[in-house]
Every structure is written in structure tokens, then in C-alpha cells.
Amino acid sequence: MEDFVLLPCDFMPPPSMPLSVLLNKFRTDVISDGSIATTCWFADHKPEKGAFPDEWFTNSQASPIIWDEVSGTLLHIDTPDDYDQNAEELELRMALLSRYPRMKLSMGFQDSHVYVCRRSILDVLEEKRHVDSFREDFLPWLLKIQYQRTRRRKYAQYLAPITKTTSQALALKHSTMTTDNNASINPFKGSLLSVELSVSGPPSPTEGEESIGGSTTFRVGIVVQRPDAGFTIRVNTLPNFLEINRRVLSQVTYTLPTDPKDRSLIDQKAQISSDTIIGGSTQVSERTTIKKSVIGRHCVIGKMAKIVGCILLDHCVIEDGAKLDGCILGKNTKVGAKAELSRCVTQAGYEVAAGESVKGEKLDVSDWTAGVGDEDEDEEQAESEEDS
């Protein structure tokens, strides 16, 4: 019976943006003009071209969004359906354009999938079956309610139940601190000096009706996280997974394990750079170099191995003289002696033959039964959590 927050498990906001920013905006908007939800979009982190093999990317085609900067209102999300309907042009309703005459459009923002929602959203969701994804289907649809009158009429009963909290719209209207989104910055408007000049003002019928709905705009707020606001990422692609690991590593300093037992597993002659994390019970043999990497627990790393910029999940076995560069190794991956992997992703349980040299590939286990753990959630995690 309460408003709720819907959020993903893979969103990493910068410290400068606590959730309270969204919550505060949500509370203000709900009270002032009947907003129904608040979303958060952040500047897309674009890895430099060619840094990762193409197959690491899923269809991460950014879709354009349109929002109103002044009032912080999300207005339109271009869906693949829209694209299919008209691949050449983005179609925008004039209704939207006349309500928000100055809109921003950008392809460069990604949905954080953090939504602060009114309880009534669930009621509408109940009405709208056939919605598969909140983000792909429901949200774009929800945005249309704010400017399409018929839809508004139809869903108003769900969105604005009678027991609505008293709107503070009137009070806020007289406030000098809030920016009223409907009364746009228009010095000209004040030129209507006398009532007789009705022709010169905006046509009254439309105006009147709008002001009726004015207290309940059913709008969806947006908090836009600009690139300069700090590093924001959703770990839903392999490059992002690697990227966030890199960023975290840059802030840690490696110290040898305090547990003597674990410590004994790490050879004195192994070179481990400070921006590395090594899990417990992992064995690192002599003259092995590890830089900028995350090594899981219970791994066995042979002699003379070289591991740079890698993520090794638990129970990996790296045999002597293997070279790994920018790889993500699933659980139980076994890399044979003197094998060379560069920018590879391996499925859990994959075995790289000794001496093999692979670059930029996704290595799958042909036999699916081979050692795939139940909680195998490394690279697949990104895709699976998308629909919440």
C-alpha cells in the first residue's frame, strides 16, 4: 500500500548520487503536481572502440530519450517498436511538443532501472496485462499518459485514487523557489495587459482544461546523471563488468593474506602488483606475475604464469607459463601450460588446452554438463536480470 522503489542489483551510482536524490525529487513532484514515478538515467559509459571483441556486446543499442530539462520530466522513450514502425524518423506528437515546447533529446543516456513509483503504478500494471518488461514496454507506455488525453481519462482512476494526499500545488504555485513546469519562461506572456485582449492570450479553452489536469500531471520525473557527475555504470555487459572491476581495483592495495595458511600458498617469488585482489586459499606459484586482476578463491596458478587485467572466478587452474590478458575466466576454468589467452571469456569449466593461443573469443563448453555450477552467474548475470 505504499509507494515503492524498483531497482536492479547491478547499478553502481557514484557517491555523489545517493538514492535520496531520487526520493526527494519524487516526493516533491508527487506533492506538487501529481507525478507518478521518478526515474534515473545516466550518461552512457562508452568503451573505446575495439577495446573489446564485438561478441562481448549484446544489443546495447542506446535508444533515444526525450525529457524536459526545466521540470525534470521524462517524456518519451524510443522503443524498438517505434523504430520498426519508422526507422528513418522519430515521430513526436504535437501534443507533446505543445505541452513541453522545449525538449531535450539524447541517445547518450542509459536507464539505471531505478524507479521510484507510486503505489498506483501497480494498479495500472494490473490493468495492462501483456506487459513483459517494465523498462521496454510499460515505461514507454506510461509516459504517454501525461500528454494523451484519452489515455489520461481512462487511467486517471487508477493513477489518482480518491484518497490522494492533498496536493500542495497551490502553495507551490506561489513559491518563488520552485519552477513551475507549465508556466514556461515566457516574458511575452505578461504582455496581456487587459482582459479584453483575449485574442492575444493563448486560446482559453485549451488552457482551462490543462489547468484542470494541472494538479495531476501523471508525469514521470527524471534525474539525469551527467558524465561529469561521477562514474556511473550498470554492470550488465561484459565490458562493463571488466570496467567496474578495473575501477575498483584502482582503489585497493594488495596485501598478502593474513591467514598463515593462505599466505603459505603464495610463493615469495610471485610478483603481485598492488592493484590486485586474490581470494583465500588460492595458490600462486613462483615467478608468476599478476597485475590489475581479481583472482577468486581456491585457484591454482602455476609457475611463470602472467595474468594482466583479468578476472578469475573461483577454482580456476592456470598451469605453468600460461599468459592471460584481459580475460574473464568462469569457475573451474582450466588453462593449460603455456596457453595464451587474450581478451577471452570462458564458460565455467572450460579447459584451454596446453599451448593453445586464443584471442578475443567466447569459449563455451561443448559439453554442458561439464562442471557447470548451479550458481554460475558470471557472464550471464547481465542478461538475466534485465527484466525485473
Partner 1 sequence: MAPKSSSTGKEKLIDDEEEVLQAVILADSFNKRFRPLTARKPRCLLPICNAPLLDWTFESLALAGVQEIFVVCRSHADQVKAAIRESKWSKAGSGIKIVPILTAKETFSPGDAMRDIYTRGLVTSDFVLVMGDLVSNIRIDEVVRVHKERRKTNKDAIMTMVVKESGARHRTKARGDSSIFVLDPETSECLYYEPVTAYPPTRLAHVPREIFAAHPELEIRNDLIDCSIDVCSVEVPSLFQDNFDYLDIRRDFVHGVLTSDLLMKNIHCYVAKDGYAARVKDTKSYESVSKDILSRWTFPLVPDDNHPSGHSYDHERGNKYFAKDHTVVLARYDQSPLPILPHTCKIGNNTMIGSSTQINENTEIISSVIGRNCIIGTGTIIRNSYIFDGTTVGSNCTIEQSIIGAGVSIRDDSIVQRGCLVGDGVIIGPSAQLEPYGRLSKRRDPAEIAAQEDEDEDSDIEDIEASQDSIPTTLGKSSNAIVWPTGPPEDAEEDDIAAFKNERFMRLGDDASDLDDSDDGSETSSSESESEEDSDFDSDAHSFTATSDASIPLNLPLESLMAETEFKDEVRQSLERAFAEGHSVDNAAVELKTLRMASNVPLTRVREAVVAAIVEKIQIVEANPAAQRKEIASVIGRWGELIDKIGGVDPIETVSVLQSHCATSQRLNLFGQILAALYQDDIVDEDDIRKWHSLPGSKGVGVKASDSVVEHLKKCWLIGAHMIKQFDEQESDEDSSEEDDPVEKQDKPKPEEEDGDADGEDPEDDEDEESSEDEEKISPTHAQQVKGEAISAAAEVSSPDESAEENSEEESEETESEAASRGDEFLEGDNNQDDVRAPPHSTQDIRATAASNASAVDESSVDDSEEESGETESEVESKTDEIVGEGSSKDKVKGFPALDSHEATTTVPSSTEPSVDGSDEESGETESEVESREENPIQSSKQTAVPSKEPVVDAGSKEDSTVDVGTRKAAREDSEEEESEGDSVEGV
Cβ burial of 378 (10 Å; 0-12, 13-18, 19+) is buried
- Shortest Cβ distance from residue 15 to partner 1 (Å)? 25
- Which has the closest alpha carbon to 231: 112, 345, 59? 112
Question: DSSP states of 312-358 as a string?
Answer: E-TT-EE-TT-EEES-EE-TT-EE-TT-EEES-EE-TT-EEPTT-EE
Question: How many residues in total does the chain contain?
Answer: 388
355 binds partner 1 (CB under 8 A): no
Closer CB to partner 1, residue 94 or residue 162? Answer: 94
Amino acid at 230: G
Quickly count: other Cβ atoms within 10 Å of residue 103's Cβ.
17
Instruction: Please count the residues of this chain forming the interface with partner 1, following the rule CB under 8 A.
Output: 58
- Shortest Cβ distance from residue 225 to partner 1 (Å)? 14
373 binds partner 1 (CB under 8 A): no
> Among residue numbers 258 through 297, which ones bind partner 1 (CB under 8 A)?
none
Amino acid at 46: K
Closer CB to partner 1, residue 78 or residue 243? Answer: 78
Can you say whether residue 34 is alpha, beta or left, with left for phi > 0 and alpha for psi between -120 and 50 degrees? left
152 binds partner 1 (CB under 8 A): yes
101 binds partner 1 (CB under 8 A): yes
Q: Which residue has the cell 521510484?
A: 116
- Shortest Cβ distance from residue 102 to partner 1 (Å)? 5
The pattern of x and - marking residues 58 through 77 that bind partner 1 according to CB under 8 A reads ------x-x-----------
Closer CB to partner 1, residue 151 or residue 362? Answer: 151
- Shortest Cβ distance from residue 352 to partner 1 (Å)? 39
Closer CB to partner 1, residue 153 or residue 263? Answer: 153
The pattern of x and - marking residues 130 through 149 that bind partner 1 according to CB under 8 A reads x------x---x--x--xxx
Select from 27, 104, 291, 362 the one that contacts partner 1 (CB under 8 A): 104
Quick one: which segment of 100-108, 167-175, 273-281, 373-381 binds partner 1 (CB under 8 A)? 100-108
80 binds partner 1 (CB under 8 A): no
Long-range residue pairs from 125-133, CB within 8 A, at least 24 positions apart, any chain: 127/155, 127/158, 132/387, 133/386, 133/387
Question: DSSP states of 189-219 as a string?
Answer: GGG--STTGGGGSPPHHHHHHHHHHHT----
- Footprint on this chain of partner 1 (rule: CB under 8 A): 64, 66, 81, 83, 85-95, 97-99, 101-108, 128-130, 137, 141, 144, 147-152, 154, 184-189, 191, 193-194, 196-197, 199-203, 205-206, 210
